[in-house]
Amino acid sequence: MNDLHIERARSGARLADWRAVHNTVIPTAVLSPDEVRERAGRNLLDVAYLGDVAVGCSTVRPPDGETAAATVIARTLPGFRGRGFGTALYERGLAHARTLGDGGVETVVLASNEEGLRFALARGFVEVERYVLPGTRFRS
């Protein structure tokens, strides 16, 4: 992990990398460049790089009118999971979320992402509901 560094996604290149990771991890909810720019205006978006290769991304949503909690979401590309990159993204996001208020922290994990569910549960999150994006298929 010595070559891992996390950058704020503010510019075109960083936003494009954030989008590429997001769309790979969540192929049933592909975002356009305009949608990513809009999200960057209201959320904190980061990209994790191993050297110059994007390996993950994260989103920190501030509390809003619906919840007092901030939301931290860490995504790691499948080929880079289990190496601490998601943890690094999550911890950075969590540190930022804690500056946004004392309403707690939530996360969102796709029900089809078993690795993500294990990651969240291992960090003390409690599952309160499940959602499945349209077009998601489960293997039996």
Looking at residue 39, its pLDDT comes to 96
Reported as a single tens digit per residue, the pLDDT across 39-78 is: 999 999 999 999 999 999 999 999 987 888 999 999 999 9
Other C-beta atoms lying within 10 Å of the C-beta of residue 127: 10
The order of strands in the sheet holding 53-61 is 4-8, 44-50, 53-61, 70-76, 105-106
Percent of the chain with pLDDT over 90: 61
Cβ atoms 33, 15 nearer than 8 A:
yes
20-38 average pLDDT score: 94
Rounded Cα distance between 93 and 70, Å, is 10
Read off the pLDDT of each residue in 13-38 and give the average, rounded to a whole number.
95
- Residue 55: CB atoms within 10 A of its CB come to 23
The DSSP output letter for 20 is H
For the stretch 108-134, pLDDT in tens is 777 667 777 777 778 777 777 766 666
